[in-house]
Amino acid sequence: MKPDLSASTLAGVLPLESGRQELPSALPALTVLGHPDLSRIGDQAFLGALARGREAWLSRDRPDFSPPGAVTGEPLSDPFLSRAPLRFAPLDDGSVCLHLDGSRTRVTIEGDPVEEARTLSAAELEEGAVLVLSERIVLLLQRRPPPLPSTGETGERFGLIGESAGIEAVCRAIERVAPLSTAVLLRGETGTGKELAARALHEHSPRASRPFLSVNLAAVPPSLAAAELFGSRKGSYTGSVGDRPGYFALADGGTLYLDEIGEAPPEVQAMLLRALESGEVMPVGDPAPRKVDVRIVSATDTDLETAIRQGTFRSPLLHRLSGYLIRLPPLRQRREDIGRLLVHFLRIELERIGDTLPPRVAAGGEPWLPAGLVARLARYAWPGNVRQLQNVARQLAIDGHGQRVLLDTPGLADLMPEVEPPSRLSSSVAVAVVPPPVLPSSGRRRSRRPSDVSEEELIAALRSHRWNLKAAADVLGVARTSLYLLLERSPSVRPAADIPPEEIRQAWERCGGDLEAMAGGLEVSERALRQRLKDLKLR
């Protein structure tokens, strides 16, 4: 569906001028992360008026929120929200100020209560800010691309849950390359869904009726690699009592998924390279090679470019595997999907223990999914990504079985450690780990003054969270606005705009255009670097 003035995603805000159909590349939008009616989670409202320099409002009765791709929607309609609207006012620097204007709706933003007004900077809107309304409804305010033309499939294409720009890009990439036999390299942090994407590539290809086999190369001993991958003849080695087909032969005509390709030992890399270059495999003990027709899909969370520079990974093998690249986004970069993912996993985990999601809560009833819990999950950095969120959902489902509301149990503290370990996709430089601020029982972070944060602590937090400002602010216990002030004053931090173009171009070539690797090496935020690359016309 082409976004237009009649779409419910733009309802409740001032329309564009007559005859103007063009929208900015990103619009302020509200996404429902938590609602007493679980079916409303994931609904969106695009505040197009703010993009045109006009005010927008939020109340019980407006704007309309609609499921992605839907033509019609409805307001939040919770009786605990005031009909007197909250007012969003755009500012000249790209920030937005939320005014309560006497509304009785209680509002917190990123866990901090709003007394009269709160300004959200342009950077905060890019990362997304979590709003809680009257301790019942959780919204994410962020800038995001306007709705794309509807494909008739929303939310669960290829088993990937969500409507974020990152997941939309992954789905479109799968649609483009699945029908081909091109080798595909899936890159992304652990737990982002690489195997799910690999299966989608196979199931939506002409090879779908043929085998899909998965092998974890990190678990293949070099001494057995040839037999495991290519097969062996009877008596070819001690203990070989019969002919044995390898993974390549078993997957003939289908797809072979090579997981953890970055952890493959050098001997295994050499074997794979020969097989990929020739299209033939040589079973152990067999003098004749065998032709195989196998599509290779590989995956890694390792920084392969750094591994090549260190001599632990073969550059020709990377080129063979990278016929087409798909990058799976980390969960912290698709926060608008957290609500839908949570409900999806809760449904699965409840079914496993013979339970179901509760029926629709009556108007004014107590939410089964507490807003405070959802907000806590939405503010978390998720180092383990979607897999970690599923583990949290399992804990919640089991602990909340038979309960009137889900319980925020002590077990969540172990599943959601406050300090995120450095990613294997980021800079290889060792960094100190910052102890997390002590959290009170309510789950909100301890508030600290910027003057309490040392320079060393600031830099360590930024490095350990790959310069994700929201995550760094959370672990330091300061507001993001305070973090921006610390960055301006820090002698150790340089803005992406101040990095010489030549240095950025060298980093681009060194990292092969890998944004995360570049940001880690240059020590700047990915968002700021992305804009700098656009300015230099490198992206």
pLDDT in tens, 221-230: 887 888 888 8
pLDDT reported for residue 5: 34
| 181 touches 276 (CB < 8 A) | no
Please give the model's pTM, rounded to 2 decimal places.
0.73
What does the alpha-carbon distance between residue 472 and residue 381 come to, in Å, rounded to a whole number?
Answer: 9
Task: Name beta bridge partners: 451.
Answer: none
- The predicted structure's pLDDT at residue 237: 57
For 129-164, b where at least 16 C-beta lie within 10 A, e where not — what string?
bbbbbbebbbbbbbbbbbbeeeeeeebebbebbbbb
**Phi–psi pair at 305, nearest 5 degrees:** -65, -40
CA distances from 276 to 64, 218, 281, 297 (A): 53, 19, 9, 12
Collect all residues with Cβ–Cβ distance below 8 Å to 395 and sequence separation of at least 6.
409, 411, 412, 415
Task: Look at residue 210 and give its three-state secondary structure.
Answer: coil
Q: Which residues of the chain have pLDDT under 70?
A: 1-24, 147-156, 234-242, 418-447, 481, 512, 539
Pairwise CA distance, residues 292 & 290, whole Å: 6
> Max CA-CA distance within the chain?
84
494, 524 Cβ separation under 8 angstroms: yes
Residue 233 CA to residue 235 CA, distance in Å, equals 6
Structure tokens at 342: 């949570």
* pLDDT value of position 226: 83
H or E segment and range at residue 137: strand 137-144
pLDDT at 375: 95
Cβ(343)–Cβ(373) below 8 Å: no
- The upper half-sphere exposure of residue 72, i.e. CA atoms within 13 Å in the direction of its Cβ, equals 0
What is the reported pLDDT for 502? 78
Q: Are the C-beta atoms of residues 303 and 424 closer than 8 Å to each other? A: yes
